[in-house]
A and B are shown apart, each in its own frame.
Chain A
Amino acid sequence: MNSLLRVEDLKTCFYTDAGMVKAVDGISYDLQEGETMGLVGESGCGKSVSALSILRLIPYPPGKITGGKVVFEGKDLLNISEEEIRDVRGNRIAMIFQEPMTSLNPVLTIGLQIGEALEIHRGLNKKETRDEVLRLLRMVGIPDPERRIDDYPHQFSGGMRQRVMIAMALSCSPKLLIADEPTTAVDVTIQAQLLETIKDLTSRLGTAVILITHNLGVVARHVNRMAVMYAGRIIESGPATEVYEHPRHPYTVGLLASVPRLDKPRVGRLVPIDGQPPDLIRLPPGCSFFPRCSHRMQQCSMERPELRIVGAGHLAACLKDLGS
């Protein structure tokens, strides 16, 4: 397998009245062709911002990508012209967002919206576009596409809208699909349908996927490799089976321990992670997780831990070795 995407020391900041927010604070990872990676973390940890930064979709001001590289198919996306990046967006790299109602244009039919990318990136004419849109709608499992193609977004249910988004995202057979919480707004039975659809279609097209979610269950089922983010940094990454079975960062350990599980006997009392999510403007000088960590040592308040190898392909940023 070849490396498709290499993110190196990516940094994105937001300048707010209250101070500078380091939303993404130096993250690095590699993605192979056709691979599915999960990016996990809680709200505000920087997972969405890091994905938007890949496509340079950070509004400026207040946001700014302040450093790093995003090498995709050999080109640094942070260093190419506006025209060149426009050719990447929606064509080579596509994105699905959490809320399909706000990411679709309410006054255009879905046929026109899906067709737009086809006309721009693939240069199809009207007739070809319509046929192709019908094929895509059928592909993502929208019943009766001939009738639905001229409908507006509000005529679709949440799950169907997300299918429209998937059709749009895959219309140009992208090399990379970034799915940002694609199933958070839908019900659990629809979630299962959508994730199967994404999995099935991307593996057929050979598309690599970055699946961004806060749901540890979704990651467990659908990804090979995962990265856990906290306060703008990746604090643990590795093969999904490895991270779930032998989590090495106290935050990952805490997260996995705090959710009740349907496949295990019911526990008497949940073990929460203490404290509150970090305030990104006033991060502690050492490890960001220090105030909430149950394994903290004095050293952790001064020294910021870097990612280090703790197993095969398994990295963790913790000064204490939880494995031993």
Chain B
Amino acid sequence: MLNDILIEAKKIAMYFPLTKGIIRQRKIAEIKAVDGVDLAIRRGETLGLVGESGCGKTTLGRCFLQLLRPTSGEVFFEKVDLCRLGDNQLRPVRQGMQIIFQDPFDSLDPRMTAEEIVAEPLRVHTKMRGRELKDKVADLLGIVGLNPSMAERYPHEFSGGQRQRLGIARALSIRPKFIVCDEPISALDVSIQAQIINLLEDLQGEFNLTYLFIAHDLSVVRHISHRVAVMYLGKIVEIANRDDLYQFAQHPYTKALLSAVPIPDPAVEASRERIILGGEPPSPMALPSGCNFNPRCSVGIDLCQQEVPPLHQVGRDHWVACHRA
């Protein structure tokens, strides 16, 4: 599986214009949500994408799916550049790609029954109807651990965890190859999170799925991912195999993130060194010169304020964008 790339972004950038004025809108600035990202995801793997809110991880996920059309760059899905396809040409390709959203309350239509929700992608993309469709939905509900007798219920009759299962059934319905999981568990209760993580892992094995798993919880990302990419202000600052990233983090931002994760054990916490980052991430409207992280970095040198550090290889499958690494 290792070198068989399913989907790959090349030099992807997504800028959002910031305008002023009501009648004659002038562009006064740009928000560089994603700023030149190269990222390849291999068939059958889970790539964890972590970073703080506003770093562009959700935008990047949507660029992969062409839910947002990138400002520049290319996205190859099974060797086809999606950015060149028109909406009609994209439709058949979309069968191969799905998304699971963070909030199972907002992402399900409250007026549709569970059955209608799960059946919708099948109605759009396949010719399945009637009895066959009903059976297929019942089958899908069973796969995600919901009782098929719940098919007639509306979303508000389900708990948060059950709703997320419904969202997963919907994503699975047309047998995608690639699923973007955009913070799929962060709205769920702690005791339910593990259920959903296990379900996602089981489904990956069963249907040979490839995941882009976007999250901010580093413990969960370590658990589920094969490789992990860390994003900061629109750029990937470090990417490595899971164990390398967690044991041998090179980028000062990755190190700070890891040390900020609280560990549920008072004895461990008492003896733990912590890097508390000063300041806050700068606004993506006014990025610093050089490395985006330099205003908060404790190991910065002059070069960091002048030149953007490129991602360079520091180990097998381990890449870092830092002048000091």
Q: Does residue B76 face the partner (Cβ distance < 8 Å to A)?
A: no
Give A133 Cβ to nearest chain B Cβ, in Å. 21
For B216, the chain A residues whose CB sits under 8 A away are: 187-188
For A277, the chain B residues whose CB sits under 8 A away are: 159-160, 189, 191-192
User: Which chain B residues have a beta carbon within 8 Å of chain A's beta carbons?
Assistant: 52-53, 159-162, 189-195, 197-198, 201, 216, 218-220, 222-223, 242-243, 246, 256-258, 260-269, 274, 276-277, 280
For A201, the chain B residues whose CB sits under 8 A away are: none
Q: How far is the CA of A262 from the CA of B265 in the complex (A)?
A: 11
Q: How far is the CA of A187 from the CA of B232 in the complex (A)?
A: 12
Task: Select one of B159, B201, B260 contacting A191, CB under 8 A.
Answer: B260
Q: Which residues of chain A in 97-133 are interfacial with respect to chain B, using CB atoms and an 8 Å cutoff?
A: none
Interface stretch (choices A9-17, A46-54, A250-258): A250-258
Give B33 Cβ to nearest chain A Cβ, in Å. 16
Q: Are B266 and A260 in contact (CB under 8 A)?
A: no
For A158, the chain B residues whose CB sits under 8 A away are: 53
Q: Are B274 and A262 in contact (CB under 8 A)?
A: no
Q: Which residues of chain A in 182-240 are interfacial with respect to chain B, using CB atoms and an 8 Å cutoff?
A: 187-193, 196, 214-221, 240
- Provide the main secondary structure of the chain B interface: helix
Q: Does residue A263 face the partner (Cβ distance < 8 Å to B)?
A: yes
For B258, the chain A residues whose CB sits under 8 A away are: 262
Which 7 interchain pairs have the tightest Cβ spacing?
A217-B262, A272-B194, A216-B264, A187-B52, A260-B223, A270-B194, A42-B189
Chain B: CB-nearest residue to A45: B189
Give B258 Cβ to nearest chain A Cβ, in Å. 7
Give B288 Cβ to nearest chain A Cβ, in Å. 16
Q: Does residue A309 face the partner (Cβ distance < 8 Å to B)?
A: no
For B192, the chain A residues whose CB sits under 8 A away are: 272-273, 276-277
B-contact 0/1 string along A258-274, CB 8 Å cutoff: 11111100110111111
Q: Are A214 and B265 in contact (CB under 8 A)?
A: no
Q: Does residue A43 face the partner (Cβ distance < 8 Å to B)?
A: yes
Q: Are B189 and A43 in contact (CB under 8 A)?
A: yes
For A157, the chain B residues whose CB sits under 8 A away are: 280
Task: Select one of B162, B198, B264, B274 contacting A261, CB under 8 A.
Answer: B264
For A292, the chain B residues whose CB sits under 8 A away are: 191
Q: Does residue A241 face the partner (Cβ distance < 8 Å to B)?
A: yes
Task: Select one of B53, B246, B274 contacting A192, CB under 8 A.
Answer: B274
Q: Are A189 and B190 in contact (CB under 8 A)?
A: no
Q: Are A260 and B220 in contact (CB under 8 A)?
A: yes
The number of inter-chain residue pairs (CB within 8 angstroms) is 131
Q: Are B219 and A259 in contact (CB under 8 A)?
A: yes
Q: Are B263 and A245 in contact (CB under 8 A)?
A: no
Q: Are B222 and A266 in contact (CB under 8 A)?
A: yes
For B243, the chain A residues whose CB sits under 8 A away are: 266
Q: Does residue A159 face the partner (Cβ distance < 8 Å to B)?
A: yes
Chain B: CB-nearest residue to A221: B269
Q: Are A188 and B52 in contact (CB under 8 A)?
A: yes
7 further A-B pairs in the complex, CB-CB below 8 A; given A244-B264, A244-B267: A189-B256, A192-B274, A192-B276, A220-B269, A272-B194, A273-B192, A277-B159
Q: Does residue A160 face the partner (Cβ distance < 8 Å to B)?
A: yes
Q: Are B264 and A220 in contact (CB under 8 A)?
A: yes
Q: How far is the CA of A196 from the CA of B263 in the complex (A)?
A: 15
For B265, the chain A residues whose CB sits under 8 A away are: 220, 244, 261, 263
Chain B: CB-nearest residue to A256: B264
Task: Select one of B257, B263, B266 contacting A189, CB under 8 A.
Answer: B257
Chain B: CB-nearest residue to A214: B190
Chain A: CB-nearest residue to B199: A272
Q: How far is the CA of A267 from the CA of B257 in the complex (A)?
A: 21
Q: Are B266 and A273 in contact (CB under 8 A)?
A: no
For A187, the chain B residues whose CB sits under 8 A away are: 52-53, 216
Chain B: CB-nearest residue to A230: B191
For B219, the chain A residues whose CB sits under 8 A away are: 259-262
Q: How far is the CA of A274 from the CA of B260 in the complex (A)?
A: 30
Give B54 Cβ to nearest chain A Cβ, in Å. 9
Task: Select one of A42, A260, A276 contacting B162, CB under 8 A.
Answer: A276
Q: Are A215 and B277 in contact (CB under 8 A)?
A: no
Q: How far is the CA of A260 from the CA of B195 in the complex (A)?
A: 12
For A255, the chain B residues whose CB sits under 8 A away are: 190-191
Q: How far is the CA of A272 from the CA of B145 in the complex (A)?
A: 14
For B52, the chain A residues whose CB sits under 8 A away are: 187-190
Q: How far is the CA of A113 from the CA of B222 in the complex (A)?
A: 42
Q: List 23 A-B contacts (CB under 8 A).
A: A42-B191, A188-B260, A188-B261, A189-B52, A190-B280, A192-B277, A193-B277, A196-B276, A214-B189, A215-B262, A216-B190, A244-B266, A255-B190, A258-B194, A260-B219, A261-B264, A262-B218, A262-B261, A262-B263, A269-B201, A272-B191, A272-B193, A276-B162
Q: Are A259 and B194 in contact (CB under 8 A)?
A: yes
Chain B: CB-nearest residue to A223: B266
For B266, the chain A residues whose CB sits under 8 A away are: 220-221, 240-241, 244
Q: How far is the CA of A245 from the CA of B257 in the complex (A)?
A: 26
